Amino acid sequence: MGWNSYNAFRDTVTDAQIREVADAIVSSGMKAAGYQYVIIDDGWEGERDSRGRLQPNSKFPDMKALADYVHSKGLKIGLWATPGPRACSPSYSGSYGHEKEDAEQWAEWGMDFIKFDWCSAGQIYSKEQQPLVYQKQAELLRATGRSMLFSICQYGDNKVYEWGAAAGGNMWRTTFDIRDTWASMSSVGFRQVELAQYAGPGHWNDPDMLEVGNGGMSNDEYITHFTLWAMAAAPLFAGNDVRRMSPATLDILLNREIIAIDQDPLGAAGRLLSRKDGLEIWTRNLTGGAFVVAFFNRTDAPTTMKVHWEKLKITGDYRVRDLWARENLAPASGLLQVNVPRHGVVALKLFK
């Protein structure tokens, strides 16, 4: 869990913004809720020094001092990079030909996370070489002696979910860049259920960072967004300007009951129970025998949804907790029935 600069700042991100974001993650309660990584995406890169190590540009006068500042807040810090010769923003440099030097530099700065984005690497390598390219970088990061979470970003191409873990990835993008629209988010999010078998402790499907709070969707749609990511056991990286959040945005990002689903130690991603006419029901098993049933309404009208015990393959009475209303409901037996708004969700935790 954490925050990434790209959705809010693109490649205009600065040292001052990162410091302010770190402050806001602490003061807003996000740190206490589990958000820990502050990721500087594309836009920090400058020129190489005499040792061949990529240095930051003028927007980041002292990367080590910035890392120390973020660490002083009890948070972790990470960087975006690419195995290609140029960044996605082509005015910036990539790591091609300097992979070892850059890994050593990141470790010396005190980085805790590296997002390795394919970008221009396709000019150098074939698609079939992707596993080896990422494995090489993972080995170079380990050789520094510093623990760094390794995020593979090649947009879900080449069945990365089948080889990402073996290549040293702790998480891998399963899709192209998300946008702050219902069409983009729902297209990305609802596909994740097809990849549930590949998620587990230490290696996660990554449907990209969150758009919650960026203004392009309704509150119900953002609630669906956050719930989908939690049900998919996806990394939760906020992508909004956390220095300026509405109460509604903060209420979503700080829902500890949904966060607990996402972060459940069992690490079992949600599975599709039913899908028909724009209505989907997902279930996710949790530690201790509890489970979640999420009713998603992808249609343009509110609707009533229900599921019978036989479909859930359970018997007897269950206590029920509404994770967005944050209230206990009457115990249920035999049937669950809920009213779901358009583009909305009702997420229920069932436990004995």
What is the rounded distance in angstroms from the CA atom of residue 43 to the CA atom of residue 6? 9
What is the rounded distance in angstroms from the CA atom of residue 269 to the CA atom of residue 232? 5
DSSP string, 231-243: HTT---EE-S-TT
pLDDT in tens, the chain (352 residues): 999 999 999 999 999 999 999 999 999 999 999 999 999 999 999 999 999 999 999 999 999 999 999 999 999 999 999 999 999 988 999 999 999 999 999 999 999 999 999 999 999 999 999 999 999 999 999 999 999 999 999 999 999 999 999 999 999 999 999 999 999 999 999 999 999 999 999 999 999 999 999 999 999 999 999 999 999 999 999 999 999 999 999 999 999 999 999 999 999 999 999 999 999 999 999 999 999 999 999 999 999 999 999 999 999 999 999 999 999 999 999 999 999 999 999 999 999 9
Clarify whether 117 is annotated catalytic: yes
First and final C-alpha spacing in the chain? 29
Tell me the two tokens of residue 153.
Answer: 């970003």
**pTM to 2 decimal places:** 0.98
Strands (E) across the chain are located at 2-4, 37-40, 45-48, 54-56, 76-81, 113-117, 149-153, 171-173, 204-206, 237-238, 271-276, 279-285, 291-297, 303-308, 318-322, 327-332, 335-340, 345-351
Task: List phi, psi (to 5°) of 336.
Answer: -115, 135
**In this structure, are residues 249 and 238 in contact, taking their beta carbons and an 8 Å threshold?**
no
pLDDT digits (tens, 9 = 90+) for 130-141: 999 999 999 999
260: helix, coil or strand?
helix
| pLDDT for the residue numbered 82 | 98
DSSP tag of 146: S
- Strands 149-153 and 345-351 come out as unpaired
| pLDDT for the residue numbered 21 | 98
Residues found in the chain: 352
| pLDDT for the residue numbered 89 | 87
Q: From the candidates 112, 117, 262, 264, give the one annotated as an active-site residue.
A: 117
pLDDT digits (tens, 9 = 90+) for 66-117: 999 999 999 999 999 999 999 998 899 999 999 999 999 999 999 999 999 9
| pLDDT for the residue numbered 197 | 98
- Alpha carbon 117 to its chain centroid, in Å, reads 15
Domains along the chain with CATH numbers: 2-262 (3.20.20.70), 271-351 (2.60.40.1180)
Query: What count of Cα atoms within 13 Å lies in the side-chain half-sphere of residue 244?
Result: 5
DSSP tag of 244: S
339: helix, coil or strand?
strand
**In this structure, are residues 115 and 41 in contact, taking their beta carbons and an 8 Å threshold?**
yes
Tell me the two tokens of residue 236.
Answer: 């939760």
Neighbouring residues of 126: CB distance < 8 A, sequence distance ≥ 6: none
Clarify whether 177 is annotated catalytic: yes
